[in-house]
Amino acid sequence: MSRRACGSRPAIVRFTPALALSLVLVLGGCDSLDSLLSVDAPSRVVASDLNNPSAAGLLVKSVANELRCAVAWYAAASALTGMEWADASNNSVTNIWDSRNHDTSGYGAQYANADCGSGQPAVYKPLSRARWIADYTLGNLAEWETADVPDKAAYTAEVSMYAGYAYTLFGEAMCSVAFDGGPEQTRADSWNLAVSRFDQAISGGSGDVQNAARVGKARALLNLGQKSDAASVASNVPAGFKFELQFSSDASVTKNPLWYQNHDNQSVTIAETRKDQTFGGMADPRIAVTNSGIAHPTTGIVVWTADKFPSVSSPLELATWEEAQLIKAEAEHAAGNLAGAVAIINTLHTNAGLPAFASTNAQEVMDQIVYERSAEMFLEGHHLYDITRYNIPLIPAVGTYSPFGDTFGNDMCFRLPATEFQNNENIG
């Protein structure tokens, strides 16, 4: 099963992430803001119009589009910082992402200032916008009557699911969080907020929305260390389930950024550790990559590309049955049921056409689960936090010099940027 989360030319809502002062309707995709505190095309809608129940459907589509924007550009950012990609261009901004050296102000705060369609990965701005507009829409839906919004229940479930993913990614990306001008909070606080949103989606939703929320809740619970509860939720996800985010060639912001950065712009290449991945002597098709034979014109580095995203419109998976199964496998491992974990791994191997895995050693089984996650969810925005969760060694190691003279650091999460603490009186 799959779901088209965004149409090819949907309308969307914009806001200023730091203080959420302005709300603007923009037609034609996830267009970027010129700066965090600027508003584009303010004449296109009066903010009060968005408080009208007649705007419900438009707001829901806007939330879906913003979530697509945030997830996709975060996936690109996490691929570069999280050792799935490597810089091929010697671009000063790309170097910052790749070398794992992020500061909170000035040019180094590219993770705060970059936006969808800006030609580089992005984290804080699109995630902030998606989270805020989702909660704004939920607030409106709570006040509107069903007589005025017949699809109120379905809308509420769908937007709650999107909000849950925004909060989940915030916790995975940021070292700490702050929302709506509030105090600094922990990653766990963000994941608990995600769980509450997912609960609302599960209780009021159905079909793909409900199952995507189940996968998301299981993911957030796994982040919180609640493996048994996570597995219980994941067990309800049906085999074959997929929730895909859709892309198109309509505009820079509707292109799949995993394709754009790697295939079209060729600013990044596949990291050395992700090339030629095999199991039992067989190439793992889930991490299939190709030597393009094309050298970057500036650096001469030959770019390797991911077969997973062969075109501008290749979809990105937000939630899958495979992810749910791996969450279950981890819970089985934690409970001491190694045979159960191995059985789940081998179901995934059968589906991928790989040889069976066999082990009764707890560490070997856990190592294989970590590998399976990196393969099944390659370039989908999971591996960056998995590096922290599973204490995966950093390659290149901290202190190593890159081909461009940079020194690799160990910043595996993003600190609250100057944009936040300069505009939030509750942040010191």
* Per-residue confidence band for 208, with pLDDT thresholds at 50, 70 and 90: very high
Backbone angles phi and psi of 426, in degrees to 5: -90, 0
pLDDT of residue 106: 52
Asked whether residue 393 carries a pLDDT value surpassing 50, the answer given is yes
In tens, the pLDDT along 152-181 reads: 999 999 999 999 999 999 999 999 999 999
pLDDT of residue 423: 84
pLDDT of residue 199: 98
User: Do the Cβ atoms of 250 and 31 come closer than 8 Å?
Assistant: no
H-type alpha helices, 281-400: 321-334, 338-352, 362-376, 383-389
Asked whether residue 395 carries a pLDDT value surpassing 70, the answer given is yes
**Residue 346, burial from CB neighbour count under 10 angstroms (0-12, 13-18, 19+):** middle
The mean per-residue pLDDT over the stretch 23-34 comes to: 32
The mean per-residue pLDDT over the stretch 200-221 comes to: 98
- Locate 185 and state its tokens: 């909070």
- 34-38, 79-83, 93-97, 414-418: range with lowest mean pLDDT: 34-38
pLDDT of residue 141: 97
Mean pLDDT over each residue of the chain, to the nearest integer: 87
In DSSP notation, 174-214 reads BSSB--TT---B-HHHHHHHHHHHHHHHHHH--HHHHHHHH
Q: What percentage of the chain reaches a pLDDT higher than 70?
A: 87
pLDDT of residue 34: 30
Q: What angle do CA 150, 6, 263 make, to 5 degrees?
A: 175
In tens, the pLDDT along 323-369 reads: 999 999 999 999 999 999 999 999 999 999 999 999 999 999 999 99
Domains identified in the chain and CATH numbers: 11-248+395-421 (1.25.40)
- 7-16, 190-199, 300-309: range with lowest mean pLDDT: 7-16
Please, which residues bridge with residue 269 across strands?
86
Asked whether residue 22 carries a pLDDT value surpassing 70, the answer given is no
Q: What is the dihedral of CA 108, 123, 175, 409, to 10 degrees?
A: -40
In DSSP notation, 119-173 reads SS---HHHHHHHHHHHHHHHHHHHHS-TTT-TTHHHHHHHHHHHHHHHHHHHHHH
Asked whether residue 300 carries a pLDDT value surpassing 60, the answer given is yes
* Per-residue confidence band for 49, with pLDDT thresholds at 50, 70 and 90: low
| Predicted model pTM | 0.89
Asked whether residue 97 carries a pLDDT value surpassing 90, the answer given is no
User: Do the Cβ atoms of 164 and 152 come closer than 8 Å?
Assistant: no
pLDDT of residue 42: 32
pLDDT of residue 10: 31
Asked whether residue 226 carries a pLDDT value surpassing 90, the answer given is yes
The mean per-residue pLDDT over the stretch 197-216 comes to: 97
In tens, the pLDDT along 235-265 reads: 999 999 999 999 999 888 889 999 999 999 8
* Per-residue confidence band for 9, with pLDDT thresholds at 50, 70 and 90: very low
Asked whether residue 20 carries a pLDDT value surpassing 50, the answer given is no
The mean per-residue pLDDT over the stretch 217-225 comes to: 98
Q: What angle do CA 284, 331, 333 make, to 5 degrees?
A: 70
